[in-house]
Structure 1
Amino acid sequence: MRSMISRAAAMANPGMSAWASLVTRAQLQAGETVLINGATGSAGQLAVQIARYLGAKKIIATGRNAQSLAALDADECIQLTADDKNLSGQFSAVSAAQIDVVIDYLWGHSAELLLPALAKYTPAGSPVRYVQVGSWLAPISR
């Protein structure tokens, strides 16, 4: 019983992060396509489930762990361990098919490849709501 309570308590922050990102920040609507960058972590896995619950038409999940990606209820998976050319090509292809929302748990290199693809291949007049969750902070100079 104690183990179950501990697991439930541990899901509070990732669950709220996923819910707030999709519902409050991105305002995901039923029938929209969402890309979750970093879907193999706790919050990312919950974001996939919440997006499905909210009626997302298509869920694209990215992550490094192939086994975890395969276990997700995502419509399409992008393995982040691919080389840059392959990864850029995959991001370009999904961007051209119109992504409405990006929930980005990773930032960093995957975002460096995703953002130019979104800018170049997203259909004109189709804004993308990009929600970056957490970030790296630069050292503060004193």
Structure 2
Amino acid sequence: MMDRIRLLHRTCALLLALAAADASAELVVIVSARSQAPALNGDQVAAIFLGQSGRFPGGLEAVALDQRLGSPERDGFYQQVTGKTPALLKAHWSKMVFTGRGQPPREAPDSASVRRMVAENPSMIGYIDRAALDASVRPVLVLR
């Protein structure tokens, strides 16, 4: 009887984990609806968010805006776009700051804040949950 209960608990835990993974947010990289920035590929977005480029293709200034540290959106974004875990990202920025080559992007608390700030500044680029999209911003890259 105890074996059946354990098996039932494990099965329930597995189903919950699968449901949570399925419900994970689809992220979009956004710019202001007023921005002239073109659609971007993952390498271009990674270069901007890792401080390796401060410009969009074509030369316009690009200012990256992060979600808050530890948020699932931030962790998912960096894992998908750069392949970096939070620990690797911290090491990257420690090196960049120490060598004087850059500062990490400014942070906003959530997708709504990122959307609002990006909409107000055509130089900004951020990432949000796809469900938070509206006409004030436009996607330049969809992450799946």
State the TM-score, normalized to the length of structure 1. 0.37
Larger radius of gyration: 2
**More relative contact order in 1 or in 2 (CA 8 Å, sep 6+)?**
2
